[in-house]
Amino acid sequence: MFETAELGRTLASEEYKKIVPELRQELLEVQRQLLNNGSFQVILIFAGVDGAGKSEIVNLLNSWMDPRWLVTHAYGPPSDEESERPEYWRYWRDLPPKGQIGLLLSTWYSRPILDYVYGEHNLANFDKRLDRITGMEKGLADNGALILKFWLHLDKASQQQRFQSLEQDPLNAWRVTEEDWKHWELYDGFMGAAEHCIRKTSTGEAPWHIVEGGDLKYSAVTVARTLCDSIRLQLERIKHEAELAAVAKSRLQPQPQDSETATDQDRGREVVRPSVPTVLSNLDNDLRLSKEEYQQQLSTLQGEINQLQHQAHESNISTLLVFEGADAAGKGGAIRRVISALDAKHYKVVPIAAPTDEERAQPYLWRFWRHLPRAGRLTIFDRSWYGRVLVERVEGFATEQEWRRAYREINDFEEQLAEHDILVIKYWLHITPEEQLDRFDARAATPYKQWKLTEEDWRNREKWADYELAVNDMVERTSTSLAPWTLVEANDKRFARVKVLQTLRDRLQQKLSKTIHSDP
């Protein structure tokens, strides 16, 4: 695999001096085009043999390009805030926004390769982590990111020479550590792991470029050229796709105008249910709790949850609660009953509405990653990442491709949460269209609740069947053993709130008993 990177390629100084000014101008130009286009970010990953010049290339690129739209990250041991979240949280946190370029060193490839070479992980575990990587990279690429991965190679003898020459330079001797020499002794093992890693993770979305690392002038120019060409290609692809889309659109029949443009008083009152049974069809909408039962269970449950959350906090167990449901299904009321049981110091409620502009400049899941709680805390999402496969699907805010692939993205995300031992509880609060109508009417009749009822709520009712089918698909595809959905019969608010609390209590109990048993 690395033979072609052991050819001793170099770039003569004169040629280098001729090339670099033009190359720099080209880099600045593509940077400007990227920034103006603003629809994707570029992620460069540098990995490879120590001493092959990764840092030096990154430094050169930094001095060649406009540093304002460029960011470099190198990853050492995680900070405590990072360790309290899933492994990839810090990479998500550092993603460059669309229009900009990120240069990443010692990133998600480092630990898996090291752990395998040191024998701390077996091949199966190594492969599992490489799968996680391809999933991450595919997710980023699907969201538009351009990913370029550079493997800087040196043969064993050249690596030795490189270390020795650094050690002889008093200004640079500190760059060579004992660990470097230890890795050098493990050279063959590293190469085996590297080859396996590159084979497994070189994908169409995120291919590896193996670059010979002996001569900085050669390698830096090679990387810079690849960067320029790839950005240009991506910009052309985007332009081409936009043209195709415009042609396709112009050939479509003009859409008939909505026939109900006149405001219809009765609009949204009648609702069409889906013609096929859904997971919601089997729910017993008549489940009810009397006021007395409710009061008694509510206070018992809240007391239990308070104690359990105290234990969870002590055990550093974090929890995510996801609330989804039709308008007026009672999400807010249920959330208030949950937080009444909790210490306000331990939770945060995150309402999901329109993204901010910083969020729009990132892949879809970024705005949820950023809210993951520190150890022992809860985040309560009032609506969530499931918006992608619910409202965005039904209303056409996401393309079919986007919402279809979201199932996998979401399952990946929740798997990472589960692996980090975060408890994920997802509630769908189900009400019947008749119950919703009653609640809308009640809102309309109560002066201080009228603001909660909008034209959009009525419009959404017209798409009841679409929403119900979307819920069905969502549950079918994302109710996993790691993060199951809890369907809550919510026609009766008291019943729904108690079921929400019971589920939280049971899941906390279960989690705590597992954690305590698995503790050494």
Instruction: Give me the residues that bind its own copies (CB under 8 A), please.
Output: 25, 28-29, 32, 55, 58-59, 61-63, 66-74, 79-81, 103, 105, 171, 174, 303, 307, 310, 332, 335-336, 339-340, 342-345, 347-349, 351, 356-358, 374, 380, 382, 448, 451
Name 104's bridge partners: 45, 73
Our CB check for its own copies shows the closer of 346 and 507 to be 346
At 72, phi and psi to the nearest 5?
A: -115, 135
Our CB check for its own copies shows the closer of 341 and 406 to be 341
For residues 201 and 179, what is the distance between their CA atoms, to the nearest angstrom? 26
Give the distance from CA 458 to its chain's centroid. Answer: 32
Query: Which one-letter amino acid corresponds to residue 312?
Result: A
Q: Min. distance of Cβ 61 from its own copies in angstroms?
A: 8
Q: Min. distance of Cβ 453 from its own copies in angstroms?
A: 14
Q: Who's near 515: CB < 8 A, 6+ residues apart?
A: 315, 317, 421
Q: Min. distance of Cβ 35 from its own copies in angstroms?
A: 11
Q: Min. distance of Cβ 129 from its own copies in angstroms?
A: 24
Q: Min. distance of Cβ 300 from its own copies in angstroms?
A: 12
Our CB check for its own copies shows the closer of 8 and 67 to be 67
| Residue the block writes with tokens 């109710």 | 479
For residues 234 and 34, what is the distance between their CA atoms, to the nearest angstrom? 10
Q: Is 115 left (phi over 0), alpha (psi -120 to 50) or beta?
A: alpha
Tokens of 49: 């043999």
Q: Min. distance of Cβ 45 from its own copies in angstroms?
A: 14
Tokens of 319: 């929890």
Give the count of beta carbons closer than 10 Å to the beta carbon of residue 453. Answer: 18
For residue 152, which of 44, 50, 4 has the smallest C-alpha distance? Answer: 50
- Which contiguous run of DSSP H or E holds residue 332? helix 331-340
Our CB check for its own copies shows the closer of 374 and 477 to be 374
Our CB check for its own copies shows the closer of 379 and 416 to be 379
> Is residue 209 classed as helix, strand or coil in its secondary structure?
strand
> Is residue 373 classed as helix, strand or coil in its secondary structure?
coil
Our CB check for its own copies shows the closer of 327 and 409 to be 327
> Is residue 43 classed as helix, strand or coil in its secondary structure?
strand
At 84, phi and psi to the nearest 5?
A: -80, -5
For residue 138, which of 199, 202, 232, 74 has the smallest C-alpha distance? Answer: 202
| Residue the block writes with tokens 């210490």 | 343
For residues 43 and 45, what is the distance between their CA atoms, to the nearest angstrom? 6
Q: Min. distance of Cβ 74 from its own copies in angstroms?
A: 4
Q: Min. distance of Cβ 115 from its own copies in angstroms?
A: 22
Our CB check for its own copies shows the closer of 67 and 396 to be 67
Query: Which one-letter amino acid corresponds to residue 501?
Result: L
Our CB check for its own copies shows the closer of 337 and 405 to be 337
Tokens of 505: 């209590």
Our CB check for its own copies shows the closer of 273 and 449 to be 449
Q: What angle do CA 258, 455, 352 make, to 5 degrees?
A: 110
Q: Min. distance of Cβ 349 from its own copies in angstroms?
A: 4
For residues 464 and 329, what is the distance between their CA atoms, to the nearest angstrom? 13
Our CB check for its own copies shows the closer of 231 and 342 to be 342
Q: Min. distance of Cβ 355 from its own copies in angstroms?
A: 10
Q: Are 396 and 404 in contact (CB under 8 A)?
A: no
> How many alpha carbons fall within 13 Å on the CB side of residue 63?
9
Burial of 305 (0-12, 13-18, 19+ CB in 10 A): buried
Our CB check for its own copies shows the closer of 124 and 344 to be 344
Name 428's bridge partners: 324, 487
Our CB check for its own copies shows the closer of 72 and 319 to be 72
Our CB check for its own copies shows the closer of 64 and 403 to be 64
Q: Min. distance of Cβ 369 from its own copies in angstroms?
A: 16
Q: Min. distance of Cβ 119 from its own copies in angstroms?
A: 29
Q: Min. distance of Cβ 339 from its own copies in angstroms?
A: 6
Tokens of 4: 């072609």
